[in-house]
Copies of this chain bind each other. A is one copy, B any other.
Amino acid sequence: MVSEAKNNKRYRCPVEATLDVIGGKWKPLILWQLKAEKLRFSGLQQSMQGISPKMLTKQLRELEEAGLVLREVYPEIPPRVEYSLTEFGKTVLPVLDALCEWGNKYLDRECVLGKNEELEAADGPALQ
C-alpha cells in the first residue's frame, strides 16, 4: 500500500495520500496504541485483539516505510522488537484526534436519530 505509493502512485489529492498512510482497518489503532508507549510486537498484537501476525507485520512495515514508526531490533534470544512513533509519526496524532472527534459527533448523531440499539461512544480507540 504505502510501498506502492512511494514508488508509483499518483494521488489526485493529498487527502488520498493521508488515507493511504493512516487509513485502513488497523493503522489507526496501531498508531493510537503507540501514542503513549513503545510496544513490542506481541504487545501490539494483544492490544488489538484479533489481528494476525501477518497482518500486523504488514501494517507495521508500511508505517515504517512511511516514516511514522521506528522499528528497533534487539538481537537477543529470544528476539525482541520494539515499535514506537517517530517524531514525524507524532505529527499525525492531531489528525487522528480530529478523526476521532468527528467520529464521536457522527456516532452521537446516528444515535439520536434513532435506529441504534446500544452504543458506547468511546472517548478514544479502546478495545471492546
Contact = CB atoms under 8 A, between A and B. Distances in A.
Contacts of A98: 94-95, 98
B103 A92 contact: no
Interface in A6-40: 6-7, 11-19, 21, 23, 25, 28-29, 32
Interface string A49-91: 0000000000000000011000000000000000000001001
Nearest to A120: B10
A6 B100 contact: no
Interface of A: 6-7, 11-19, 21, 23, 25, 28-29, 32, 66-67, 88, 91-92, 94-96, 98-107, 109-110, 113, 115-116, 121-122, 124-128
10 contacts: A12-B29, A13-B29, A13-B125, A14-B100, A14-B101, A14-B107, A15-B100, A18-B100, A88-B109, A94-B98
